[in-house]
Amino acid sequence: MVSEEAPNRILNAIAEYTPRHVEHSEASPAAILILVCDREGEPHVVFTERTTHVEHHKGQISFPGGACDDSDDCLETTALRETFEEIGVLPEHVRIIGQLDDMVTISNFRVTPYVGMLTTQSEYQYRISDHEVAQVIEVPLAYLMDERNMELEVRDHQGRQVLVPAFSYNGHRIWGATARMLHQFIELLR
């Protein structure tokens, strides 16, 4: 469980935010979970390194999540189901506190990011899907919030060059849609 000050700050920032929804009829609906866990009293954000076996974003650092299934009653269910399938976190061990802006990715998914807190008291024993996840990476929230640890990269977007955020942590590169969602999360906490 995350210490009291951090969850209250995260809870207040995210719960008060009204996310922007994007309608994009050609993009497939998907959802991810920005999962915050406690490590020795300090909040950490949970990421996965994708395997080379998955269809999209091979080897990239991402949040747990994926495409909406016909059996999912809502996108929050998608985020929780995918998190369970990828890293074994039970939905009842996650407290959803809100969501961020929808985002359309270059792989043509309309992603809805949810923010949740791991509610268990002890260190979570992840059960990794070997097909989808190479490893779980927990990054200290304090590290991510330190502006010196964010870089700006130049990327081509719809024929023009734009600056986008990226992060490096212990040899892992967080970039693309994951970094953009992370950046919005961090900015809301500030």
The radius of gyration of the chain's CA atoms, rounded to the nearest angstrom, is: 16
Residue 123: predicted pLDDT: 81
Q: Does 34 have pLDDT greater than 90?
A: yes
The pairing of strands 109-118 and 28-39 is parallel
Tokens 């995350």 -> residue: 2
Q: What is the rounded distance in angstroms from the CA atom of residue 80 to the CA atom of residue 159?
A: 35
Phi, psi angles (nearest 5°) of residue 52: -90, 0
What's the pLDDT band for 75 if we cut at 50, 70, 90?
very high
State which amino acid sits at residue 171. G
The pairing of strands 103-104 and 109-118 is antiparallel
**Domains of the chain listed by start with CATH number:** 5-146 (3.90.79.10)
- Are residues 132 and 51 in contact, defined by beta-carbon separation less than 8 angstroms? yes
Q: What is the rounded distance in angstroms from the CA atom of residue 133 to the CA atom of residue 126?
A: 11
Residue 171: predicted pLDDT: 93
Q: Does 2 have pLDDT greater than 60?
A: no
Element (H, E) at 87: helix 75-87
142-161 pLDDT tens trace: 999 999 999 998 887 778 88
Residue 3: predicted pLDDT: 45
Q: Does 7 have pLDDT greater than 70?
A: no
Q: What is the rounded distance in angstroms from the CA atom of residue 59 to the CA atom of residue 154?
A: 21
87-139 pLDDT tens trace: 999 999 999 999 999 999 888 899 999 999 999 877 889 999 998 899 999 99
Give the chain's mean pLDDT.
89
- Are residues 125 and 42 in contact, defined by beta-carbon separation less than 8 angstroms? no
Q: Does 4 have pLDDT greater than 60?
A: no
39-54 pLDDT tens trace: 888 999 999 998 877 6
State which amino acid sits at residue 108. N
